[in-house]
Amino acid sequence: MPAFVPVATVRRGGLAESHHFAAAAAVTPQGRIVARLGDPDFATFARSAVKPFQALPLVEGGGVERFSLDAGDLALICASHAGRPEHAAAARSLLERGGFSVADLGCGAHRPLGEEARRMLEEAGGEATPLHNNCSGKHAGMLLACRLFGWSHAGDGADSYLHPNHPLQRRIRRRVALFSGLGEERLGVGIDGCSAPTFHMPLAALARCYAALVAPELSPPVADASASGAAHGLANGATGGDEEVGVAAAAGRVVDAMTSRPENVAGPGRFTTRLMQATRGRILGKEGAEGVYAIGVRGPVAMGVALKIADGGERARDGIVVHLLRLLGVLSAEELDSLSDLVRPVVRNHRGLEVGEIVADFELERA
């Protein structure tokens, strides 16, 4: 089985110029593969697609109540946001609620994502700070978790909240192992662009993470953990606040926040926001760097989907995802119509002339 198969063609003047290859898996909450592209066991880093799971310890420990977090706050904690003024302000508010400052963020700074967000910063005469980093919400959430549990957050070695052996990062790894159905020893660990740990796993395991996230009651590992408390987020260490919640309930809060406030997960006009808006929250989407995209379909049939574009590029990603969801039969005609401009995006030259298009064209192999 080839790891990757052709999924999109870049055409210029009606003729093929370049090709993109990808692999994907669609999985039920029970872990059964229902459709695939290429090799569903191909392993890659989840990158930012792991963010909803990185938020779980904070939510399970009662952090929503302790720090008065609303849906917009929690969505930002799970976000790869655009760095717009409202995103930066929300990240600053999260820090302040835990008694932190911008200097405590370990994510580094980069310019806002997208031309509009960059222009807004330039017109305001400001410079990019860690608040504009697309991961600032995630890092603020991690710092709040450290405050909640009484853990260190700064310093060298495991005292840093970003060290893979920090108590928070170990707890996150247990959560990812639980939702993926893998043992912790099967999760590879690498450092993401924002300096936080991220995880290396088969696409089918990442897809199962998202299937279990949107339907935890249908996933045996998560459902059993919630019923027995054996894998509760507060086990094996410090406890959180007075409003501790189970893992399935925490997953539900994360999903509800992301799908009800999609503008905080990415930003106006960006694909992830548009996908959740078009489907009215029935489908949860989350991008990761290097051509990764993960999806949780809440219904009518719950499933998770994970995609990896071989070259790590994103110019064909949106059309590939829409075509993939169409083939899976989870988008209505109305939803497809609202996303139709993404299916065959136009290629323009430096004068703005239309010179080609990107065409997603593939078939799924059904299990």
Nearest to 285 by CA among 31, 5, 80: 80
The pLDDT value recorded for residue 233 is: 44
* pTM given for the model: 0.94
3-state secondary structure 203-264: HHHHHHHHHHHHCHHHCHHHHHHHHHCCCCCCCCCCCCCCCCCCHHHHHHHHHHHHHHCHHH
pLDDT in tens, 13-40: 999 999 999 999 999 999 999 999 999 9
Residue 231 in this model has a pLDDT that exceeds 50:
no
Q: Predicted confidence band at 245 (pLDDT cuts at 50, 70, 90)?
A: confident
pLDDT in tens, 246-290: 999 999 999 999 999 999 999 999 999 999 999 999 999 999 999
The pLDDT value recorded for residue 101 is: 97
The pLDDT value recorded for residue 229 is: 60
User: Residue 139: what are its φ and ψ, rounded to 5°?
Assistant: -65, -40
Angle between helices 220-228 and 247-260 (to 10 degrees): 120
Q: Alpha carbon of 89 to those of 84, 85, 145: distances in Å?
A: 9, 6, 20
Taking a C-beta distance cutoff of 8 angstroms, is the pair 28, 211 a contact?
yes
pLDDT in tens, 139-188: 999 999 999 999 999 988 889 999 999 999 999 999 999 999 998 999 99
Cβ neighbours, 10 Å, residue 120: 17
The position carrying tokens 């290097």 is 290
CATH architecture of the domain with range 5-77+152-366? 3-Layer(aba) Sandwich (3.40)
Q: Using CA of residue 65, residue 67, residue 72, residue 76, what is the dihedral sign?
A: negative
pLDDT in tens, 281-318: 999 999 999 999 999 999 889 999 999 999 999 999 99
The pLDDT value recorded for residue 238 is: 64
Residue 234 in this model has a pLDDT that exceeds 60:
no
Q: What is the mean pLDDT of the chain?
A: 94
Angle between helices 167-180 and 136-149 (to 10 degrees): 110
Give the start-to-end residue ranges of the domains of the chain.
5-77+152-366
Taking a C-beta distance cutoff of 8 angstroms, is the pair 225, 232 a contact?
yes
* Distance from chain centroid for Cα 232: 22
The pLDDT value recorded for residue 178 is: 97
C-alpha gyration radius of the chain: 20
CA–CA separation, 33 and 311 (whole Å) = 24
The pLDDT value recorded for residue 228 is: 66
Type of residue numbered 312:
G
Q: Predicted confidence band at 206 (pLDDT cuts at 50, 70, 90)?
A: very high
The pLDDT value recorded for residue 196 is: 97
pLDDT in tens, 321-352: 999 999 999 999 999 999 999 999 999 999 99
The position carrying tokens 């009484």 is 150
pLDDT in tens, 72-100: 999 999 999 999 999 999 999 999 999 99
Summarize the confidence of residues 348-362 as an average pLDDT.
Answer: 96
